[in-house]
Structure 1
Amino acid sequence: MSNLQLITLVAILAGPVLAVLVQLLAERRKIVREHQAATFRLLVSTRHLPSDPTYSTAINMTPVDFNGVGSVMAAHQGYIETITYQATPENVVAHEKQMISKQTKLIFEMAKHLGYDLSETDIQTTAYAAGGFVQRDNLMLRAWEAWPRIAEALESQVELSAPEEKKKLRKGAS
């Protein structure tokens, strides 16, 4: 077998294998990018609604979907460190500003990695939440805050009426 025949045989066998490998790599990159874009979209769409469960999902999926993207992972780590810090009453306002700054940095790094043309200022100033949704959310928060007071009031009413109820039960048994 001559060198030309050997090269032809190797090309015939290796060509399809190489084509499949290239296709698999391209498909993997496409899937990774789709996951990254989905996480980015979730985070961008809920960035002014951190109580939304979707927001938490996006934050928690960031290390999975952006694993190996150093700038995003560093921004994520900075954001996590900031949100887990318990602010004292004196520095609540400064802490909230820092959380917003770290969140913006995280979103900006994701956008930059994905090739979106968004500035950090755009990220901070262009979010929209429907007024009705915000009102509903605030009403729900006030209601949840009221539940302990309601429970305490009901418990105190039961405690006050309990002796009278016991007397009525005793009279009825006699």
Structure 2
Amino acid sequence: MTPEFWITIAAIVLGPIIAVFLAQQLQKSEQEKQKRLFVFRTLMTTRRMVLSPDRVQALNLIEVEFSSYPKVMGKFRELLAVYNDVARWKSDDESVRKKVLEDVDDKTAELLGQIGKTLGYKLNDLDLLRGGYAPEAFGLLEQQQAEIREFLAGLNRGDRLLPVAVVDYRHSEKLLEQARDAQVLLEAAQKEQDAS
């Protein structure tokens, strides 16, 4: 048997095996890219919604999907450092809390820019920072939910009072006047409590 015969037999036997192996590797590579794209897309769609559960989930996936990308991991650690700076988040100074939110926006834009580069997108950090859409109502909703949580936590701690009134429905005009007076008193008490 000639060497050409053995080469032909090897090509017939090994060719399909190599082709299947290469197809599996390409499929695995494509699946990994799709996972990274899912993280990127989720972060892009929620970049204006800091408290979105989808955003938190995507951030938690970065360590898994981008572990072999040191530049992405560096930007992710910088963002985590801002999130983990509890003193700034709990500060009584409004300007400090505003600055920490600006830092989150900045670090998020840098992270998204770096992830985009690894995925082949050419993105400007400034466009990422100022881009996106989140209706003002989302911010208002988050603020109201935070106020409700704080009120309920205050009730639980005993720091807040729940106003209760006895109502006499027989005299509706008098009832409305009493309700207005009670509202004025409650608002004054709340302002006084907030000031102290």
Gaps of 5+ in 2: 165-196
Tell me how far apart the structure 1 counterparts of residues 144 and 86 of structure 2 sit (CA, whole Å).
25
Q: 2:148 aligned to 143, 149, 157, which one?
A: 143
Tell me how far apart the structure 1 counterparts of residues 140 and 83 of structure 2 sit (CA, whole Å).
24
Runs of 4+ with deviation above 6 angstroms = none
Gaps of 5+ in 1: 158-174
1:64-95 Cα distance to aligned partner (Å, 9 max, x none): 11121222112112222232123454754544
Q: CA 1:24–1:128 in structure 2 vs 1: closer, same or farther (change >3 Å)?
A: same
Number of aligned positions between the proteins: 156
Q: CA 1:81–1:149 in structure 2 vs 1: closer, same or farther (change >3 Å)?
A: closer
Structure with bigger RCO (C-alpha 8 Å, 6+ apart): 1
Q: 1:114 aligned to 109, 112, 119, which one?
A: 119
Tell me how far apart the structure 2 counterparts of residues 70 and 20 of structure 1 sit (CA, whole Å).
32
Q: Quick one: which amino acid aligns to residue 128 of structure 2?
A: I
Structure 1 or 2: more helix by fraction: 1
Question: Residues 19-168 of structure 1 correspond to what in structure 2 (within 5 A)?
Answer: 19-88=19-88, 89=91, 91-151=96-156, 152=158, 153=161
Tell me how far apart the structure 1 counterparts of residues 13 and 83 of structure 2 sit (CA, whole Å).
55
Q: CA 1:148–1:94 in structure 2 vs 1: closer, same or farther (change >3 Å)?
A: closer
Residues 105 and 120, structure 1, Cα contact 8 Å, conserved in 2? yes
Residues 66 and 73, structure 1, Cα contact 8 Å, conserved in 2? yes
Secondary structure of 2:4's partner? helix
Tell me how far apart the structure 1 counterparts of residues 135 and 102 of structure 2 sit (CA, whole Å).
22
- Percent identity over paired residues: 23
Tell me how far apart the structure 2 counterparts of residues 131 and 77 of structure 1 sit (CA, whole Å).
29
Tell me how far apart the structure 2 counterparts of residues 142 and 77 of structure 1 sit (CA, whole Å).
30
TM-score with structure 2 length normalisation?
A: 0.72
